[in-house]
Amino acid sequence: MSEIKLVVIYPTPTDVDEFERLYTDEHLPFAGERLFGQTKAMVTTMVGTPDGSEPPFYKMFEAYFPSKDDFDKWATSSGAQDTVQHAVDISTATGTKPIIMVATEVIP
């Protein structure tokens, strides 16, 4: 079965506390009202690397969709465009720009 995954990676913000406030209090509720068709969504906060150095990224969001058609239905909606713009806005407000990608997830 092949899934499609939306991946948003946030570099470490210049103001972590403000980013967390914006992400938790504003972005997650905002996106939650506009995200549909996904089978699973996950937020990961990076805490380190195997060698003890600072991770190159701070946070990652993943939303899994059962098919490209399901992803496309969401991606072409006004809610998707608003959500992506909001992710860029909160990241930019704290000194970074998110990396947004679409990937194929293959479950063996």
Task: Return the exposure string of 41-63: e unless at least 16 CB atoms fall within 10 Å of the residue's CB, then b.
Answer: eeeeeeeeeeeeeeeebbbbbbb
pLDDT interval class at 103 (50, 70, 90): very high
Residue 27 lies in a domain: yes
Mean pLDDT of the residues in the chain = 93
Give me the domain span that covers residue 38: 10-48+65-106
Query: Does residue 57 lie within any of the structural domains?
Result: no
d(CA 67, CA 32): 20
Residue 74 within a domain: yes
Confirm whether 22 is domain-assigned: yes
- 3-state secondary structure (DSSP) of residue 46: coil
Domain count, the chain: 1
Single pTM value for the model: 0.91
pLDDT in tens, 12-49: 999 999 999 999 999 999 999 999 999 999 999 999 99
In a domain, 69, yes or no: yes
Instruction: Identify whether 59 is part of a domain.
Output: no
52/73 Cα distance (integer angstroms): 41
